[in-house]
A and B are shown apart, each in its own frame.
Chain A
Amino acid sequence: GENVEQHPSTLSVQEGDSAVIKCTYSDSASNYFPWYKQELGKGPQLIIDIRSNVGEKKDQRIAVTLNKTAKHFSLHITETQPEDSAVYFCAASGRDSNYQLIWGAGTKLIIKP
């Protein structure tokens, strides 16, 4: 079945700098790759997603890139702000997982003032 690995587990960046979180997946049939942000005591919030027919997607300070050949996708946050501090999860789904989300282990992003 699908397996998603996420790195790093913790990322500390200076406010205003960029942050990059990377994920790899194992199932080449996966075709949907969302990113979620989870703040303490809350459920995951969808921040951006990408489908396998697209290589890159941007939404203001957030972008996701997908490399289907290498089976990895990345989240890029530019001009980081204190409110970006949270745990970020990547996930993958597709036909072989019956379209259920398979999640990475999460990255704790710390924005230093």
Chain B
Amino acid sequence: DAGVTQSPTHLIKTRGQHVTLRCSPISGHKSVSWYQQVLGQGPQFIFQYYEKEERGRGNFPDRFSARQFPNYSSELNVNALLLGDSALYLCASSLWTAYGYTFGSGTRLTVV
């Protein structure tokens, strides 16, 4: 079975631009979570979606948004990119909302 897949793997954007990151969960998993991992730190929670509804939101500005589609895949959108948005963005899927998160390999975003 395929694991959690994220695309693209790497991305370079300019300050002020918009970016869309994509995630396909493990088949059968209905929950998708997004995390931001800055180099040398642990991941920080951004969003969780379950059955296409937002179930949680971390302490991130409104420039960050996400959605989940009927096939349970998800997109993370970031507007008006700042240099500080440079990070590894991780997607995790799980059957439910509380346990057993499986992570993808992430999207490395560099803002210049």
Contact A98 B104 (CB under 8 A): no
Main secondary structure of the interface of B (DSSP, over half): loop
Q: Which of A45-85 contact B (CB under 8 A)?
A: 45-46, 49
Question: Which listed residue, A32, A45, A100, A106, touches B45 by the CB 8 Å rule?
Answer: A100
* Residues from chain A with Cβ under 8 Å of B42 in the complex: 6, 89, 91, 103-106
Among B33, B35, B101, chain A packs the most CB atoms within 10 A around the CB of B101
How many residues on B have C-beta within 8 angstroms of the other chain's C-beta atoms?
A: 24
Residue of A nearest to B91 (CB): A43
Contact B98 A42 (CB under 8 A): no
Which residues of B approach A to under 8 Å, CB–CB? 4, 33, 35, 40-45, 48, 55-56, 58, 90, 97-106
Contact A46 B90 (CB under 8 A): no
- Contacts A/B (CB < 8 Å), 18 sampled: A6-B42, A32-B98, A34-B101, A42-B105, A42-B106, A43-B4, A44-B43, A44-B90, A49-B100, A98-B55, A99-B97, A99-B98, A100-B48, A100-B58, A103-B44, A104-B42, A105-B41, A106-B42
* Residues from chain B with Cβ under 8 Å of A103 in the complex: 42-44
